[in-house]
Amino acid sequence: TKDIGGQLTLTSSIENFPGFRSISGYELASKILEQAQQYGVEILFDEVVGIAERDGVFTVRTKNGYELSSEAVILAFGKTPREMNVPGEEKFKGRGISYCAICDAPLYREKKVVVYGWGPQAFEAVNLLCSYGNTVYLVHKGKSKLDSSTLPADCNKRFMEFSETIIKEVKGENNVESVVLESLTDGSIKEIRVDGVFVELGYQMKTEWVKEFIELDESGEIVVDTVCATSRRGVFAAGDVTNIPYKQAVISASQGAIAAISAYNYIQEKRGGAKIKSDWREIIRER
């Protein structure tokens, strides 16, 4: 995995996960990680870029050159924040460009920052960054304007909005120092000094690397059945990357459990071992 938690860490408050009245996504992800590590789970911080099967054994290839083999695979890489795709973005990732305001806002206090995007998450990022005393510039393509009454009273003087505008380039030496803006109405160019850029452009499905390996639907989501099996035997999938209609943390967690049991039973079937029987109807019959 590239990181722990993925989209979950971008959520400020989760109120529909069993056992918690309210918990931040970052805290919930941390608790899940801690529990997994108690059972000896090995974690490799890397990105999978390829997968192949030979003689019933799967091999996944990572960005840093690792090759890992197994008898079954569970794909649970979720959705990925949509990027700006502008000059300077790759260079300044983690050095002034962030895709997680909740994670990184505390690193910016009384600075000048840009929030790039529109919608609830962008508005939440604006409010959060304002709360740390930052001057916040909201940049987006739309004609709509953010209702300033939704901002904290002391934030209005430190907030500026650029509607019908796009970011053309992010500039700097070692860290972000400025962004180049282009007006969509008259084509004018403006460069403003900033210390950080928070990208809030939504999410995308990055499943291109498995499209020849397993079945995807028209949206690029992985097609799974009721036991989280994909179109290829031995490959299972769970969470937001699948074609389930409801995308919630609790549902992704339940799918993870289903996929894990299915993968275990698949391996046991291959080896001639006993499967996990978790169906109450099976328990009744055994009595």
Q: Using CA atoms, how far apart are residues 239 and 195, in angstroms rounded to an integer?
A: 35
**3-class state of residue 283 by DSSP:** helix
Among 10-19, 154-163, 181-190, the range with the most confident prediction by mean pLDDT is 181-190
pTM, two decimals, is 0.76
CATH architecture of 89-203: 3-Layer(bba) Sandwich (3.50)
Q: Using CA atoms, how far apart are residues 230 and 222, in angstroms rounded to an integer?
A: 7
- Locate the domains of the chain by residue range: 46-79+205-286, 89-203
pLDDT at 281: 65
**3-class state of residue 266 by DSSP:** helix
CATH architecture of 46-79+205-286: 3-Layer(bba) Sandwich (3.50)
| Angstrom distances, CA of residue 231 to CA of 18, 95, 171, 205 | 31, 40, 45, 18
Over range 145-171, report the average pLDDT: 89
Over range 92-111, report the average pLDDT: 90
Q: What is the pLDDT of residues 54-91, one digit of tens each?
A: 999 999 999 999 999 999 999 999 988 899 999 999 99
Q: What is the pLDDT of residues 161-193, one digit of tens each?
A: 999 999 999 999 999 999 999 999 999 999 999
- Domains 46-79+205-286 and 89-203 equal at CATH topology level: yes
Burial of 112 (C-beta count, 10 Å sphere; 0-12/13-18/19+): middle
Q: What is the pLDDT of residues 204-263, one digit of tens each?
A: 889 999 999 999 999 999 999 999 999 999 999 999 999 998 888 999 999 999 999 999
Q: What is the pLDDT of residues 36-54, one digit of tens each?
A: 999 999 999 999 999 999 9
pLDDT at 279: 66
pLDDT at 287: 44
Over range 118-129, report the average pLDDT: 92
pLDDT at 286: 47
Q: Using CA atoms, how far apart are residues 75 and 82, in angstroms rounded to an integer?
A: 20
User: Amino acid letter at 138?
Assistant: L
Q: Are 36 and 46 in contact (CB under 8 A)?
A: no
Q: Using CA atoms, how far apart are residues 82 and 199, in angstroms rounded to an integer?
A: 8
